[in-house]
Amino acid sequence: MFDLGGKAALVTGASGGIGGAIARALHKQGATVTLSGTRAEALEQLKAALGERAHVVTAKMDDPADIDRLAKDAEAAMGKLDILVNNAGITRDNISMRMKDEEWEKVLQVNLTGTFRLTRAAMRGMMKRRFGRVINITSIVGVTGNPGQANYAAAKAGLIGMSKSLAQELASRGITVNCLAPGFIATPMTDVLTDDQKKGILGRVPADRLGTPDEIAAGVVYLASDEAGYVTGQTLHINGGMAMI
């Protein structure tokens, strides 16, 4: 089950903790992967670790021309694009009363607008081939909210609404569009939290531990598979029971 042999996947934010795990998992199932992000060195290291069937295309998700180029270069490198994992994301946390316009706009630009642009650029080939898997990595906070993250939560909630719309537009062409919403996952992003902060978070997680990037990647593999062809417009929550929606 979940064999991805012969499939071509593009993962954005692949230099991050979750993105890297997603790329490794898709590759392990047999997919050819294109790793994207802004940190060329980290991407090249991951590519070297994966060996064959791996490509690197750097891109900035707040640059429209860069995004179009990313879609083209990824298709050119792999010959096609079957699976798009929109994982790239940034945070600029601040309580709303102090949040600057730039902090709001930057997060919306990268996390939501960039994802829309890349997905739009990828759709054409997927429509022609009558197959596509778009997996947008959103977040638990897009559904529950989180103080200090009005911008991030808005962008992540936006991804869910966007995905449902795209799912309805594209379902008849064999293209599924789903979201995956991680809860608190052990990554460099959460490593910076203090022990007290972590304790506070774990108090709200019935599983009583942080999730691992591999547990997120497993969900992506499922949504990317042929077996998940009848699943579209959904949000898969992987959060140790932190929110049950």
Partner 1 sequence: MSDIAERVKKIVVEHLGVEAAQVKEDAKFIDDLGADSLDTVELVMAFEEEFGIEIPDDAAEKIQTVGDAIGFIKSNAKS
Catalytic site positions: 152
Determine if 124 is a binding residue for partner 1 (CB under 8 A).
Answer: yes
Q: Residue 153: which residues within 8 A CB-CB, separation 6 or more? A: 139, 141, 142, 145, 146
Looking at beta carbons only, is 53 or 173 nearer to partner 1? 173
* Strand order across the 132-137 sheet: 54-58, 32-37, 8-11, 83-86, 132-137, 175-182, 235-238
d(CA 78, CA 90): 27
Q: Based on the number of CB atoms within 10 Å of its own CB, is 51 exposed (0-12), middle (13-18) or buried (19 or more)?
A: exposed
Q: How far is the CB of 149 from partner 1 (least distance, A)?
A: 35
Which among 46-54, 85-93, 121-129, 178-186 is the span making contact with partner 1, rule CB under 8 A? Answer: 121-129
Comparison of 96 and 165: residue with beta carbon closer to partner 1: 165
Phi, psi of 54, deg, nearest 5: -135, 140
Given 92, 106, 173, 198, the residue binding partner 1 (CB under 8 A) = 173
Residue 157's closest CA among 179, 186, 174, 185?
Answer: 179
Nearer to partner 1, 171 or 193 (CB): 171
Q: Does 127 bind partner 1 (CB under 8 A)?
A: yes
Looking at the Cβ atoms of 22 and 175, the one nearer to partner 1 is: 175
- The reply on whether position 39 binds partner 1 by CB under 8 A is no
Tell me: does residue 102 bind partner 1 (CB under 8 A): no
For tokens 């994966």, what's the residue?
Answer: 50
The one among 3, 102, 169, 227 contacting partner 1 by CB under 8 A: 169
Residues contributing to the site for partner 1 (CB under 8 A): 124, 127-128, 169-170, 172-173
